[in-house]
Amino acid sequence: MSTVSPDPELFDKIVNLSKRRGFVFQSAEIYGGFRSTYDYGPLGVLLLRNVKDAWWRSMVQERHDVVGLDASILSPPQVWQASGHLANFSDPLVDCTNCNARHRLDKLDDPEVCPSCGAEGSFTEAREFNLMFKTHAGPVTETAAEVYLRPETAQGMFINFANVLNTSRKKPPFGIAQIGKSFRNEITPGNFVFRTREFEQMEMEFFVPPAESQQWYEYWCQVRMDWYLDLGMNPDKLILRAHDDDELSHYSSGTSDVEYLFPWGWDELEGIANRGDFDLTQHANASGEKLDFFDQATNERYTPHVIEPAAGATRTAMAFLMDAYDEEVVNDETRTVLRLDHRLAPYKVAVLPLSKKDTLTPTALRVFDAIKGRWMTDYDETQSIGKRYARQDEVGTPYCVTVDFDSLEDRAVTVRERDSREQDRVSLDQLEGYLDERLS
């Protein structure tokens, strides 16, 4: 078990850095802000995309047994009736009669004490509050036109099971993966982008012969833990926690959460669940379609069981940001550095002409043009070189390439590495190879 303790001060540092450097902005800020929704700025959109790309690469591209999907966000009530979300996807809500604060009963440390005002016994009876966003399709606001914004991407995979099976020539064990937005009318959104009403998920449904479900469940728990570690997450801040029996959904025979040590303590990044045949059976019964598999080798027809690794993209991006944040004292000054794995870093390279003088600009732009197709590259000619290095360290850029006056003579540039601050002089015709060796 980890002996590391949470760092509460990190939270404000990350929120400030996110705003100051353009990772994450409060949505509709010029109108006072729209609570619990966030916009990803120029650097945030790159980090988030890199997290999603890393997931897609390991879950789809590098596997022969998983295919992708991009299902619609709007869906008819039948889907959510069959999945159980209309009946069960709710949280118990209590109101404090003293201060009017609303809380989730299941998240209270003491169900008798309001954490907002300290009043005791001031809560109303709990009522179940369904978390799905409902809207209407078409111009008529009537019950027949009711549709829902999906609260998870998972159901898209279940309702397309037969389509994918018939078109991809896959057979169990195989998976369908999807990345996309989901929406939940959370009662208590908070902790920055950790719990929001609009967020992105990265989910995969892995369909297996029933007898193999436990072995695949254990396999996916391991594979998913390894994904975070391979991308550089601190192993002391990551655990796999198996759910107790009373936490399990009635159809699940095993669920484990990947948890990260956030500034407020351990909390969930991803859930890996052994869902049995619940989802396919529910949709088969409700739709009247066959959602099973005929195994020609054994002459058997069966409904596959499902192992589901379900992660949050936005939540994971924030965890990587927090995990990479570091401060160190160099020459009596504190330097902030994001020690992000280069696959996640928003910019891989920054090209920095030593001065804004016209004499350096053409060479610096030629360097930028030569590498921009390979790596996301920043070009910055403002401020002193020291300040520009500091700005790149703070957003995690692994390599800074400085074009100086000598470059015009020796056709070489200085390459500075983020973590060690070590510098190499590299000739222009070897620059791409030098970066390729370190960034591939």
Partnered with residue 302 across adjacent β-strands are 293
Sole window of 191-199, 223-231, 259-267, 404-412 interacting with ligand GAP (rule: CB under 6 A) = 191-199
d(CA 101, CA 115): 9
- The verdict on 152 binding ligand GAP (CB under 6 A) reads yes
Least Cβ distance, residue 220 to ligand GAP (angstroms): 13
Least Cβ distance, residue 271 to ligand GAP (angstroms): 4
Sole window of 26-34, 199-207, 233-241, 333-341 interacting with ligand GAP (rule: CB under 6 A) = 199-207
Cβ-based neighbours of 333, under 8 Å, separated by 6 or more? none
Closer of 205 and 393 to ligand GAP (Cβ): 205
Sole window of 102-110, 194-202, 232-240, 326-334 interacting with ligand GAP (rule: CB under 6 A) = 194-202
Least Cβ distance, residue 56 to ligand GAP (angstroms): 16
Closer of 160 and 355 to ligand GAP (Cβ): 160
Q: Residues 7, 186, 218, 432: which binds ligand GAP (CB under 6 A)?
A: 186
Cβ-based neighbours of 172, under 8 Å, separated by 6 or more? 207, 208, 209, 293, 304
Share of the chain residues as helix, strand and coil, in percent rounded to the nearest 5: 35, 30, 35
Least Cβ distance, residue 36 to ligand GAP (angstroms): 9
Least Cβ distance, residue 183 to ligand GAP (angstroms): 9
**For residue 45, what are its two tokens?**
């959109």
Q: Residues 270, 279, 378, 380: which binds ligand GAP (CB under 6 A)?
A: 270
- The verdict on 274 binding ligand GAP (CB under 6 A) reads no
Closer of 204 and 431 to ligand GAP (Cβ): 204
- The verdict on 203 binding ligand GAP (CB under 6 A) reads yes
d(CA 378, CA 337): 17
Q: Residues 315, 342, 348, 416: which binds ligand GAP (CB under 6 A)?
A: 315
Q: Residues 154, 338, 340, 351: which binds ligand GAP (CB under 6 A)?
A: 154
d(CA 52, CA 312): 10
Question: What element of type H or E holds 175?
Answer: strand 174-183
**For residue 363, what are its two tokens?**
């060479």
Closer of 196 and 274 to ligand GAP (Cβ): 196
Least Cβ distance, residue 203 to ligand GAP (angstroms): 6
Partnered with residue 335 across adjacent β-strands are 328
d(CA 362, CA 248): 62
Q: Token pair 């391979």 is at which residue? A: 230
- The verdict on 269 binding ligand GAP (CB under 6 A) reads yes
Cα 283 to Cα 258, 292, 398, 439: the distances in Å are 28, 11, 48, 45
Alpha helical stretches, state H, 372-420: 385-394, 407-410
Alpha helical stretches, state H, 234-312: 278-287
At residue 239, the 3 state secondary structure works out as strand
Cβ-based neighbours of 332, under 8 Å, separated by 6 or more? none
Closer of 199 and 368 to ligand GAP (Cβ): 199
Q: Residues 95, 267, 268, 341: which binds ligand GAP (CB under 6 A)?
A: 268
- The verdict on 314 binding ligand GAP (CB under 6 A) reads yes
Sole window of 108-116, 267-275, 325-333, 355-363 interacting with ligand GAP (rule: CB under 6 A) = 267-275
A 10 A CB-CB count for 46 gives 20
Least Cβ distance, residue 311 to ligand GAP (angstroms): 6
The amino acid that residue 100 corresponds to is N
User: What x/- string results for residues 67 through 106 when contact with ligand GAP is judged by CB under 6 A?
Assistant: ----------------------------------------
d(CA 347, CA 401): 12
d(CA 405, CA 258): 51
Partnered with residue 337 across adjacent β-strands are 326
d(CA 263, CA 70): 33
Closer of 148 and 375 to ligand GAP (Cβ): 148
Sole window of 25-33, 222-230, 311-319, 332-340 interacting with ligand GAP (rule: CB under 6 A) = 311-319
Half-sphere exposure of 422 (CA within 13 A, CB side): 3
Q: Residues 75, 130, 196, 274: which binds ligand GAP (CB under 6 A)?
A: 196
Sole window of 49-57, 246-254, 306-314, 343-351 interacting with ligand GAP (rule: CB under 6 A) = 306-314
A 10 A CB-CB count for 9 gives 9
- The verdict on 310 binding ligand GAP (CB under 6 A) reads yes
**Footprint of ligand GAP on this chain (CB under 6 A)?**
152, 154, 184, 186, 195-196, 199, 201, 203, 268-271, 308, 310-312, 314-315
